[in-house]
Structure 1
Amino acid sequence: MCQADRKASLEESTDRLMRASLARLTFGLSPAAVILTYVDWLTSVAMSPGKQATLTRKALDKQIRLAIWASQSALDAKAAPCIEPLPQDRRFRDPAWRRFPYNLIYQSFLLQQQWWCNATTGLAGLSPHHEQALEFGARQLLDMVSPANFPLTNPRVLDKTLATGGANLIKGTEQFLDDWQRQLLGQGPAGAEQFVPGQAVAVTPGKVIYRNDLIELIQYAPSTDQVHPEPVLIVPAWIMKYYILDLSPDNSLVRYLVGKGHTVFMISWRNPSGEDRDLGLDDYRRLGIVDSLTVIEAVCPGVPVHGVGYCLGGTLLAITGASLARDGDHRLASMTLFAAQTDFSEAGELMLFIDDKQLSFLEDTMWAQGVLDTKQMAGAFQLLRSNDLIWSRLVNEYLLGEHRPLIDLMAWNADATRMPYRMHSEYLRQLFLDNDLAEGRFKVAGRPVTVSDIRVPIFAVGTEWDHVAPWRSTYKIHLLADTHELTFLLTSGGHNVGIVCPPIDTRCHYRMATVTEGDAYVDPETWLFRTPEHAGSWWPAWQGWLAAHSGAAQTPPSMGSTDYPALDDAPGRYVLMD
């Protein structure tokens, strides 16, 4: 490297370190992106006198509505409120909010919230991305100052404080200090020690039959005398540990499949460190899915594999399936995608964190660390559901002193993993920002791949309240796939709870419909209207689909093979690594 190049490299490194240091103070948000968004909004408002007049009129209307309602409610305590919370807003459902003056407080807050929604949307000339970011930012600020978050304006907190003589606040303070201490020491939440993989969760019997620098491949022991010949390979997301699909025995999808006569293999990803900064998406494809297919072929020779991918794992499985189809490799019998996107043009509110400036800022942070830290990822996901994951927890645990016992899914959610710098940058830029896979630009081995090359049957699952992979985004597989059979299932719940839906959970419901070659495209809203709802878990419906696409039952295969003998008992070593 010549002296000029070394100087330029040094200057670039200095700039990146400065931006990475700044990112720690701004919680990963790019100041430039925030300023540009605000200036765009402010300029649009300044150049829209009609919008200004509308906002002024709406503000006066809301004040008059509140005044009229206040006088009505003073005469009739059962008077209907002048504004109702949104269906998903549970903050003001308690009857205590109907008492004076709390009824005026929460009604005034909801009217202000509505006004700010009007102020940040519907502006001519404001870019859609900036409009969505402004609306999201305004909502976050309003959620922060909600009257539900403060003891003196929350009647539930005041009532409990009077009833317990302040014991709730003492208990809440103790819980806050314990959580703070655990955060500083890098410990899991209270109760997480009861859900150690291999002891209370991830206990389905099996063996690790293959290990490389990135994965362990687990083969689960059969529990039936006969099994379907086609094995099932599950590719979980590497953003979290694999055992969300093998939680407690009653909550385990793996145990359920094994009990129905399927030979199940699971990829367990290693938690990367800063030394793995240069691992890319193609490394995850090769060392993860392709290596696993090679091992499974040795254990179950001559039969194709049912590929199952969850979230990022589903996206990677689609990429791998497309590359295999392109190259004439027929090792997949079918493909199932759990809450996995292949088209990112409508990827939900996560897109608010993704533009060129924000990604450059995030890349500098990852460049300095070598990885995206678990706390940084958790913070972004919590903001998407701040009412449920931040503020309701603050109120319930620290003000009301009501500690919710940890369950297996919550313990798993706290057991996060890191993301290598190169892989995460490629994922965000090529898939999220540029949508290369959907538009035919994503390359594997130097050549583009396309989902339309996949010819095996596809089963796609979306969840109704998914904040990570919105179901209308996962539904776009209909526009990309060119297979002879595509089944789409929409289940109740969110990104995690919707997938972990065992048959014992009677609260679940789902809709399912199949399209075959030659059927006309149906848009998601029409599909939702036309498709009947079924009560119960969707697992049996999917398992029935798997069985229908599998051969006649036969003797289970051996655990491992001559070339790939058992190395360890499940759950293996990688899932236990911090």
Structure 2
Amino acid sequence: MPESQYQAFRNPQDRMLNGAVARLTQGLSPISLTLAWFDWAAHLAMAPGLQMRLIEKTGRKAAKLALYARRSLADPAAERAVEPLPGDHRFNDPEWGAFPFNLYAQSFLLSQQWWYAATHSVRGPSQHHQDMVWFVARQMLDVMSPANFIATNPVLLKRTLEQGGTNLLRGWQNWVEDQERRIANKPPAGAEAFQVGRNLALTPGKVVFRNHLIELIQYAPTTAQVHPEPVLIVPAWIMKYYILDLTPQNSLVKFLVDRGHTVFMISWRNPHSDDHALGMEDYLRKGVFAALDAINAVVPGQQVHGVGYCLGGTLLTIAAAALDRDDDRRLASMTLFAAQTDFRQAGELLLFIDDSQVTFIEDMMWDRGYLDASQMAGAFQMLRSNDLLWSRMVREYVLGERTPLNELMAWNADPTRMPYKMHKEYLHSLFLDNALANGHYLVDERPVAISDIRCPIFAVGADADHIAPWQSVYKIQLQSDVPVTFLLASGGHNAGIVSEPGRRNRRYQVATRSETDHYVDPETWRERTPVREGSWWPQWADWLAERSGALQVPPALGRAEAGLVALCDAPGTYVFQT
């Protein structure tokens, strides 16, 4: 046994302590936070000039606030001293323009500006530590926001007076209900209206293959003829697959089937403690490779259009690189939805990724054998605490108003777990070591390189994605030696992908770089590429059709002579695992 593993088993009490602390801190390492603060504070202490400028900045902001106060008393519509950051809607209501609430809001926003400058102007600390200090400062600021308290929020105050405090009673009832549901491990209020197989994941099909890790769904054709090349969709196992088959109106699966494609979907197992030893190699072998083998048996002699979403796209990239390295040309094309292949710009999630943080996350998983979905959800909420946490708590617990769940929100409340070994390898290999981008990721003990991929690539990023920033997704153009079509969609990590035709306020930009075109940086690309209105799905469907053969009779669901018979109807059984 390697020494590192021996030490881990010899000192289980250390891991138990770390795991207990990590669960209290949502996986944030207090050691990592302390190091970040000391790095920042020590450099600030050695910068007397910057200290003087920050003191001057305090005086200027106080003067700016006083000037605004004088102007606003004479003219309530006076120009504000500072505007909220993009995406901050806490002070949008007109009531915030009245005295003294306008001063509360402006004072908060000016303080937020000051803290941003204080955490980002210090020379010397690592960028990671600066970001962590700003993250902690932002959390504290969000806690103290005037939008959170009745006395300083005009909307809350007005509503409470109008309703005689009954909103507070409803808010209390909402809070009690949420705690009862949390303790009983039940989904949030309203999720009962959405059920898989009843009004979600309705596209007809059959499970034609099953192993310990996946069920492979083959969807029934809806057209008299189909393209010969099937489509394999590899969703992330951090989510259940039916985000791509929500309702008939916004199902990407149905959209593809209606366009004459034979579609296969991987439905991942929801791991428990017994699955702690499942690693990245298992997800590759028993996942993507097993699915390809089954599809080749159902539709023999045809290449496959591979489609990967989020982490599923990263795994598909690894699989494609390994196949082409070994001269296996089973993929006709590769499409990546919000999937990263270079993790150096992995967005705000990097706040939770350094050696100390990863150690804490490992110990948090160690005693259970998996990373619980609630722990991942807590981390995502902290990244956008003003929107996902505090604004929601104010709305539901003070105003007493529930936001009705839609199908996407109901899917988001149906999470999965991450097995210990896989998540540990994922964090170390892809995040910390960036092994895939650096050509160090091993498959069969040999490295794979994205430049080995020989099939054309279609990559989709979303302009408001905080999980896989579009600039990071765009980097596939630096790594590949084949034509890459990059599409930038409006929306976030989920809503940018679930962007069906007919949805309002949808737009996208798309351009193809050939092997001979010079590289263009992402911001220049965005400035030069025309904006198109509407859903991007038809654009991608046309791209697939151009790389597919002439229409022919659809294949049967499964292939009995290959031992692939219909095991059950879609959506299968793994999707119901809790």
Q: Which range, TM-score by smaller chain? A: over 0.9
TM-score of the aligned structures, taking structure 1 as reference length:
0.98
CA distance in 2, matches of 1:73, 1:96: 13
- How far 1:27 moved relative to its partner? 2.4
| Contact 1:462–1:470 (8 Å) recurs in 2 | yes
The SS at the match of 2:436 is: coil
Equivalent residue letter for 2:320:
G
In 1, Cα distance between the equivalents of 2:360 and 2:31?
Answer: 9
Structure 1 position 505, deviation (Å):
0.2
* Cα distance, 1:6 vs structure 2: 11
Q: 2:555 aligns with which of 535, 557, 560?
A: 557
Q: Deviations over 1:251-273 (max 9, x none)?
A: 11001111111100000000000
Q: 2: distance between equivalents of 1:15 and 1:189?
A: 35
Matched, 1:259 2:254: no
Distance 1:197 1:547 in 2: 30
The SS at the match of 1:527 is helix
Per-residue deviation, residues 190-228 of structure 1 (Å, max 9, x unmatched): 121221111110010000000000000000000010101
Between stretches 64-73 and 258-267, larger displacement belongs to 64-73
Aligned length: 576
Structure 1 residues 330 and 157, CA gap change in structure 2 (3 angstroms): same
Q: CA deviation at 1:5?
A: 11
Structure 2 counterpart of 1:281: 280
8 Å CA contact 2:204, 2:570 repeated in 1: yes
Cα displacement string for residues 111-140 of structure 1 (whole angstroms, at most 9, x for unaligned residues): 111111111112111111101111122112
Partner of 1:141: 140
* Distance of 2:545 and 2:278 partners within structure 1: 36
Contact kept? 2:460, 2:486, Cα under 8 Å: yes
In 1, distance between residues paired with 2:396 and 2:31? 36
Question: 3-state DSSP class of the match of 1:504?
Answer: coil
- Mapping for residues 163-178 of structure 1, pairs under 5 Å: 163-178=162-177
Q: Which moved more, 1:436-445 or 1:73-82?
A: 73-82
- Correspondence list, 1:328-477, <5 A: 328-477=327-476
Partners in 2 of 1:280 and 1:174 — Cα distance? 43
Residue 69 of structure 1 is matched in structure 2 by: 68
TM-score of the superposed pair, with normalisation by structure 2: 0.98
SS at match of 1:79: coil
Alpha-carbon distance in structure 1 between the residues aligned to 2:6 and 2:574: 41
Amino acid at match of 1:312: L
| Partner of residue 30, structure 2 | 31
Amino acid corresponding to residue 511 of structure 1 in structure 2? Q
Q: Secondary structure at the match of 1:279?
A: coil
Change (3 A) 1:446 1:518: same
SS in 2 for 1:514: strand
Deviation by residue 1:40-61 (Cα, 9 ceiling, x = unmatched): 1110111110111011000011
Write the distance in 2 (CA, Å) between the matches of 1:462 and 1:231: 24
- How far the C-alpha of 1:22 sits from its partner, in A, is 2.0
Q: CA deviation at 1:502?
A: 0.6
Deviation of 1:404 after TM superposition, in Å, equals 1.1
CA deviation after TM superposition for structure 1 residue 9, in Å: 5.9
Q: Which residue of 2 aligns with 1:496?
A: 494
Provide structure 1 residue ranges, at least 5 long, that are not aligned to the other structure.
none
SS in 1 for 2:438: coil
Q: Does the 8 Å CA contact 1:347/1:473 hold for their aligned counterparts?
A: yes
- Counting only pairs closer than 5 Å after superposition, residues 18-97 of structure 1 correspond to structure 2 as 18-97=17-96
Structure 2 residue corresponding to 1:548, chosen from 535, 546, 569: 546
Is contact 2:88-2:387 (8 Å) kept? no
Deviation at 1:294, TM superposition (A): 0.5
C-alpha distance in 2 between matches for 1:8 and 1:31: 22
Give, in whole Å, the separation in 1 of the partners of 2:145 and 2:234: 41
- 1: distance between equivalents of 2:384 and 2:62? 29
3-state SS of 1:217 partner: strand
C-alpha deviation, 1:166, in angstroms: 1.8
AA aligned to 1:128 is Q
Deviation at 1:414, TM superposition (A): 0.6
What is aligned with 2:567? 567
8 Å Cα contact 2:506-2:534 kept in structure 1? yes
CA contact (8 A) 2:8 2:15 kept: no
Counterpart of 2:128, as a letter, is: H
In 1: Cα distance, 2:39 partner to 2:538 partner: 50
Q: Which amino acid aligns with 1:363?
A: E
Are 1:506 and 1:535, in contact at CA under 8 Å, matched by a contact in 2? no
Report SS of the residue matched to 1:437: helix
Whole-angstrom distance in 2 between the partners of 1:431 and 1:544: 32
Match of 1:270?
269
SS of aligned partner of 2:455: coil
1:250 partner SS: coil
User: 1:538 is matched with which residue?
Assistant: 536
Structure 1 position 68, deviation (Å): 1.3
Looking at structure 2, the residues matched to 7 and 302 of structure 1 have their Cα atoms a distance apart, in angstroms, of 49
Farther off after superposition, 509-518 or 378-387: 378-387
Letter in 1 for 2:416: T
Counterpart AA for 1:287: K
Distance 1:249 1:388 in 2: 29
Instruction: Report SS of the residue matched to 1:249.
Output: coil
Identity %: 59
Q: Which residue of 2 aligns with 1:305?
A: 304
Residue 294 (structure 1) aligned with residue 325 (structure 2): no
State the distance in 1 between where 2:150 and 2:546 align. 57
Counterparts of 2:8 and 2:540, CA distance in 1:
53
- Deviation of 1:400 (Å): 1.6
Q: Which 10-residue stretch deviates more, 169-178 or 419-428? A: 169-178
Find out whether 1:526 has 2:506 as its counterpart.
no
8 Å contact 2:310–2:468 — kept in the other structure? yes
Partner secondary structure for residue 519 of structure 2: coil
Question: In 1, distance between residues paired with 2:503 and 2:538?
Answer: 12
Whether 1:576 and 2:576 are equivalent positions in the alignment is yes
**Counterpart Cα distance in 1 of 2:161 and 2:416:** 43
Segments of 4+ moved more than 4 angstroms: 4-10
CA deviations 1:288-329 (Å, max 9, x no partner) are: 110000110011111100000000000000000000000011
Q: Name the amino acid aligned to 1:438.
A: A
Task: Name the amino acid aligned to 2:568.
Answer: D
| Deviation of 1:16 (Å) | 1.4
1:7 Cα offset (Å): 8.9
Distance 1:294 1:246 in 2: 23
The aligned amino acid for 1:544 is: D
CA contact (8 A) 2:26 2:379 kept: no
**AA in 1 matched with 2:574:** Y
2:545 maps to a residue whose letter is A
Distance 2:18 2:228 in 1: 54
Q: Is 1:157 matched with 2:156?
A: yes
Q: Quickly say closer, same or farther: Cα 1:10–1:372, change in 2 above 3 A.
A: closer
Deviation of 1:395 after TM superposition, in Å, equals 1.6
Distance change >3 Å, CA 530–CA 174, structure 1 → 2: same
* Secondary structure of 2:539's aligned partner: helix
RMSD: 1.5
- Which one of 478, 483, 486 corresponds to residue 484 of structure 2? 486
